[in-house]
Amino acid sequence: MKRVIVGLSGGVDSSVAAYLLKAQGYEVIGLFMKNWHDDSVTISDECPWLEDSNDAMLVADKLGIPFQTVDLSVQYKERIVDYMFNEYEKGRTPNPDVLCNREIKFDVFMDIALELGADYVATGHYCRKGTIEKDGKQIHQLLAGADDNKDQSYFLCQLSQQQLAKALFPIGELQKPEVRAIAKAQGLITAEKKDSQGLCFIGKVRLPEFLQQQLKPKEGHIVEVADTFEMYSQVLPQFDSKENELEFLSKKPIYHLTDGTVVGKHQGAHYFTKGQRKGLGVGGTVEPLFVIDTDVKENIIYTGQGKQHPGLYRNVLFVTNEELHWVREDLALKDGETMSVMARIRYRQNLEKATLYKVNSGMYVEFENKQSAITEGQFVAWYLEDELLGSGVIS
């Protein structure tokens, strides 16, 4: 009998994942991980981890499976929390959920599971795994979940073939209402529990409060840039190669204090992210202000009025070789090669038509349509139909 360790979070999805595996005849063990140490960064009294671990235990009890808790707070602090602060400090916007899967759930947690004799690690993610044969080798595919509204393949975009080989996603073929119905029919106490917010570690705490614990406030200007501001010189230069054109288009414009009007003050440019609307505290404009860029060195936030402000839009982005990852290693582009794909630059964004251009120093992603708020530090992930092929950090 194959042994599976399920990451039981105390939510409905992993509860049902555990139930399904047991029904399929696996030997199932539930494992809850504690990510927070009470004296590391505080995340308010509202943090529900105790309640969650209790729910996970009750689910395991109901299903009649063994249950354990592991404390991964040290690794979590090193690999996720510190990285978060570092990235924000540099003016980039990290994605802790993607990282948590690569570094914790499918690494530290997976190693513990394998030591406990598991053949597989299962989670309650809405995605599917496919396996194909190519040149006599087994290749694992990361496929979108069947529920379009819930697909979480994006969060797993940094997984490797080795990690996928040991992963199972038991609820990937189901729709969320079906998952809830199963939980209800089985009398699992998580059946009606609200979905978690996505930010796997922040719990109920708000991001600005979290960041303020380590990043010191520093007053600076908020500048409004007019939508007539020339982002690029009016006449595009003549490009002698596609690569030069892509390089030019992938560069964000560099704004200066004098490129707009000072309209307010902020408490630290590193608390803000591109595309952000809330928290600027500047009223009286015809349309709301959006952050179009942050300059953490000069501590200035550049904003523009309205969602359509040209400063928010670009259609080319770049990923360095160091931050380029192929789930499908066998399809990795070589220098000079291109590929037509569908891509997204954030979770829940619709897939958009794009072309990948591999060059010596990294890879360009050129979208057919301009994208709003392409943000440094976030992940771009590319797909062919419902298969996620690879991903990279936007640089």
Name the site residues for ligand ATP (rule: CB under 6 A): 7-9, 11-14, 32-33, 105, 123-125, 195-196, 200
Q: Which two tokens stand for residue 260?
A: 């707009």
Nearest to 347 by CA among 153, 84, 88, 174: 153
Nearer Cβ to ligand ATP (172/377): 172
Nearest to 165 by CA among 17, 6, 327, 325: 327
Give the number of other Cβ atoms within 10 Å of residue 301's Cβ: 28
Asked if 323 and 376 count as a contact pair (C-beta separation under 8 A), the reply is: no
Q: 241: helix, coil or strand?
A: coil
127 is catalytic: no
Nearer Cβ to ligand ATP (53/294): 53
Single out the catalytic residue among 47, 100, 127, 157.
Answer: 100
Establish whether 340 is an annotated binding residue.
no
Measured between alpha carbons, how far is residue 301 from residues 177, 227, 283 in Å?
42, 16, 16
Establish whether 304 is an annotated binding residue.
no
Establish whether 7 is an annotated binding residue.
yes
Nearer Cβ to ligand ATP (198/237): 198
DSSP state of 259: G
Minimum CB separation of residue 154 from ligand ATP in Å reads 11
Q: How far apart are CA 355 and CA 38, in angstroms?
A: 46
Q: How far apart are CA 46 and CA 213, in angstroms?
A: 16
Minimum CB separation of residue 317 from ligand ATP in Å reads 25
Establish whether 392 is an annotated binding residue.
no
Minimum CB separation of residue 347 from ligand ATP in Å reads 10
Helices H, strands E: what count in the chain? 10, 18
200 is catalytic: yes
Establish whether 33 is an annotated binding residue.
yes
Q: How far apart are CA 19 and CA 5, in angstroms?
A: 12
Q: Which residue has the tokens 């380590």?
A: 214
Minimum CB separation of residue 56 from ligand ATP in Å reads 7
Establish whether 362 is an annotated binding residue.
no
Establish whether 9 is an annotated binding residue.
yes
Nearer Cβ to ligand ATP (36/318): 36
Establish whether 211 is an annotated binding residue.
no
Establish whether 275 is an annotated binding residue.
no
Minimum CB separation of residue 290 from ligand ATP in Å reads 28
- The closest residue (CB) to ligand ATP is 11
In degrees, rounded to 5, the angle at the alpha carbon of residue 302 between the alpha carbons of residues 287 and 286 is 10
Nearer Cβ to ligand ATP (155/382): 155
Q: How far apart are CA 265 and CA 165, in angstroms?
A: 50
Single out the catalytic residue among 47, 127, 157, 200.
Answer: 200
For the CA atoms of the chain, what is the radius of gyration?
Answer: 23
Minimum CB separation of residue 195 from ligand ATP in Å reads 5
Nearest to 145 by CA among 170, 167, 126: 126
Backbone angles phi, psi at 329, to 5 degrees: -55, -35
Asked if 227 and 260 count as a contact pair (C-beta separation under 8 A), the reply is: no
CA max distance for the chain: 69
In degrees, rounded to 5, the angle at the alpha carbon of residue 383 between the alpha carbons of residues 377 and 384 is 165
Nearer Cβ to ligand ATP (122/139): 122
Minimum CB separation of residue 110 from ligand ATP in Å reads 11
Nearer Cβ to ligand ATP (179/380): 179
Annotated binding site for ATP: 7-14, 33, 124
Annotated binding site: 7-14, 33, 124
Catalytic residues: 100, 200
